[in-house]
A and B are shown apart, each in its own frame.
Chain A
Amino acid sequence: MINTLYRLVSSKLLEIDYEELDLDDQTVLVRPTYLSICKADQRYYQGAREPEILKEKLPMALIHEGIGEVVFDGTGTFQPDDVVVMIPNTPTEKEEIIGENYLSTSKFRSSGFDGYLQDYVTFTPDRLVKIEGEVNPLVASFAELISVGVHSIQRLDQFSHQRRNVLGVWGDGTVGYITALLLKIFYPQARVLVFGKNQDKMSYFTFADGTYLVPEVPPDLRVDHAFECVGGQKSQLAIEQIIEYIQPEGTISLLGVSEYPVPINTRMVLEKGLRIYGSSRSSREDFEKTIEILEKHPEVTDYLENLIVAVFRIRTINDIHQAFEKDYQLNFGKTVLIWDK
C-alpha cells in the first residue's frame, strides 16, 4: 500500500511524501485519530534546534503523542477498530538492566524517525496499548506526556527514602500540572506543593495542597522530595531553589528539557546528600499504568481536560500550520489535533 506522510522539511515547511508499506504478519497498521503537539515538535517546527540537528533529522513527520484505531493487524494481537495508545519509543535490542526508554539504540518517533502525521502508522504489537474502558480521547491524545510523569513518580518510588510527607513540584506549566496531579493519586496522604512564577497559571492547580510564587516561598518551608518541571535556562533557578528547600537526603527528579547546560550547586548537593535523577521518555509499563489511571480515576481525566486549550480538526496541511502557530502562542496547556487528513 502507498502510505502518505506529512513531513517537516525545514522550519514551518511541510510537504507530502509517499512510502510503500506491506501488510505482513509482523505489522499492525494504525490510523491516528487524536494527536497532541509536544514542545519538542514545536521546536522542530519553529526551527529552534541547532542547524546540524535539523539537517540530520529533517525531513521527518512530527508528533509523538497520540492515540489511534487499529485498521489491520497481521499479528492477530488486536481487532480492527481497537483504540490504542501509540508508544513512540521503539527499542531495537533486548536489555535486562537498562530500560528500553534509555537505551541509546532505541529510536523515538518524531525525533529519530517519522512521527504520527501519516495516513497510517505501522507498529509492532508491543508498541501499542489497548484502551479498554471509557477515556476521553482528547485527554488520551497526550497519554505519552502523562506517562512521562508516571515514569518519574515510579522512579521516585524506586530511588527515594520512605518519608514522603511533603512533595514539591517546581513549574506551573503542563508538565508541572500533570506531575502534581499524579502525585495526589500515587501518594494521597502526602502534601503536594507547587512552586511557580505565574499566579494565573497556578490558579489551575486547584487539587494542590499549596501553591507558592517562587520569590515568596516562606523561609522555613521544607519538602522531602522535589520534581523540577521547568526546563530551559530557568531550570537553573528552579534547581537552586529546590536544593535550598529540600530536606537532607531528598530526591530531585529532573523533567525539564533544556537546550543549554544548566549549572548545579554541587556543594550543597554533597552537603545534603541529595539524589538527582533524570526522567524523560517512558516505557511500555508506564503507558499501561497511565491508561489504568485514566480508566480508574475519572476525576483525573476531568482535571486533565482543563489542560486542553486548543483543538484543531486537521483536513489540510494549512490546518497543521494553524495548529502549530496557535500552540506556539500558548503559555499553558495542550493543543490537540483531530486527525482527519
Chain B
Amino acid sequence: MIFAAILAGGTGTRMGNVEKPKQYMLLGDKPIIVHTIEKFFVNQKFEKILVLCPKTWIKPTMDLVNTHIGENDRIIVIEGGNLRNDTIMNAVRYVEDRYGVDEDSILVTHDSVRPFLTHRIIEENIEYAQKYGACDTVIPASDTIVESVDGKSISSIPKRERMYQGQTPQSFRIMKLKELYHSLSEEEKLILTDAAKIFVIRGEEVRLVEGEVNNIKITYPYDLKVANGILKGEEE
C-alpha cells in the first residue's frame, strides 16, 4: 500500500507577522495546502492521504478539504509532531495501527507548502522508493555552496557539480524507515534536519529524484509573492 503524508505541522513562525500558518494562506483562489492535497488526491495510487497539522488546525483543515475537494475517506487529517521527524513518525504510527504495513508499504512525505509539484515527481518518488527503499527529490545547486563551521569564515567550498538542493517529496519503505529511526540514539535524532538523513546516517542508499526549479517552498512572504507571480504568469 502507498500512503502520502502531507506535512503541515509547522506554525509558520518564519512567515512574518501573520495570523495564519503559511500553508493556510491563499495562493490564487485557494489555500496553499488545498492545492497540495489535491495533487495527491487525484493520484489513485495513494490508499490514504494523511495531512499532519497543528492540533488547533485539524478542524479547519477538514473544513477546507470538505469545501474544496468534498467529503471523502481518502484524506485524513491528524495532528503533527513538534519536529519534522516526529510528524513523520506520527504518520507511520497511524498507518501501522489502522491499515498494517508490510515490506512493500511506501510513505511519500511532502511539504504542504510546495504546491507546484508535478505528476512525474510523485510517480518517480513512488517508483524509486519501491525499487531502492528511499528517495529524495532534488535539483542541481545553481549557486556555489559555501561551508562555514563557525559562521564567520569559509571552511570549505564543495564542488558545485556534486551539490544539490533538497526539495520534497521524500519517500521511503515504511518498515525500513521505522527500523532505522528507532535504531538512532537521542543525540543522533537531534541532529536530523530531515527524514532522508535517517537513512544516510545508517549508510543506506537514498536515490535522487529529479525535482523542478518551480517546486518551491513557500516559506517567506516574498515566496508567496513569487508563487502568485508564477501562477498568474507574471514576472516577479
Task: List A residues at the B interface (Cβ < 8 Å).
Answer: 1-2, 4, 16-20, 22-23, 29, 31, 71-72, 80-81, 119-120, 315, 340-341
Contacts and interface: CB of A to CB of B under 8 A. Distances in A.
B119 A31 contact: yes
Contacts of B116: 2, 4, 18
Contacts of B41: 23, 72
Contact of B69 (A18, A23, A29): A23
Given A1-B38, A2-B27, A20-B231, A71 B44 contact: yes
Contacts of B39: 1-2
A1 B38 CA distance: 5
A72 B214 contact: no
6 contacts: A1-B39, A4-B116, A20-B35, A23-B41, A71-B42, A315-B120
Q: Which residue of A2, A4, A19 has the most chain B CB atoms within 10 A of its CB atom?
A: A2
Given A2-B231, A17-B233, A20-B28, A119 B44 contact: no
B112 to A, nearest CB: 13
Given A31-B119, A341-B118, A120 B42 contact: yes
Contacts of A18: 116, 214, 230-231, 233
Contacts of A31: 119
Interface of B: 27-30, 35, 38-39, 41-44, 68-70, 115-116, 118-120, 123, 210, 214, 230-231, 233
Contacts, number: 53
Contacts of A341: 118-120
Contacts of A340: 120, 123
A1 B118 contact: no
Contacts of B35: 1-2, 20
Given A31-B119, A340-B120, A341-B120, A20 B230 contact: no
Nearest to B27: A2
Nearest to A18: B231
Nearest 10 CB-CB pairings of A with B: A1-B38, A20-B28, A80-B44, A71-B42, A72-B42, A119-B119, A2-B35, A18-B231, A2-B115, A4-B118
Contacts of B28: 2, 20
A335 B148 CA distance: 51
A4 B70 CA distance: 23
Nearest to B123: A340
B36 to A, nearest CB: 9
B153 to A, nearest CB: 39
B214 A120 contact: no
A1 B120 contact: no
A71 B38 contact: no
Contacts of B70: 23
B183 to A, nearest CB: 36
A71 B43 contact: yes
Nearest to A22: B68
A81 B44 CA distance: 8
Q: Which residue of A16, A17, A18, A31 has the most chain B CB atoms within 10 A of its CB atom?
A: A18
Nearest to B214: A16
A80 B43 CA distance: 9
A315 B44 CA distance: 21
A341 B118 CA distance: 8
Given A2-B35, A2-B116, A81-B44, 10 more contacts: A1-B35, A1-B38, A2-B28, A17-B233, A23-B69, A23-B70, A29-B42, A71-B44, A120-B119, A341-B118
A17 B120 CA distance: 16
Contacts of B29: 20
A260 B120 CA distance: 41
Q: Which residue of B41, B118, B119, B214 has the most chain A CB atoms within 10 A of its CB atom?
A: B119
Nearest to B232: A18
Contact of B118 (A17, A29, A71, A119): A119
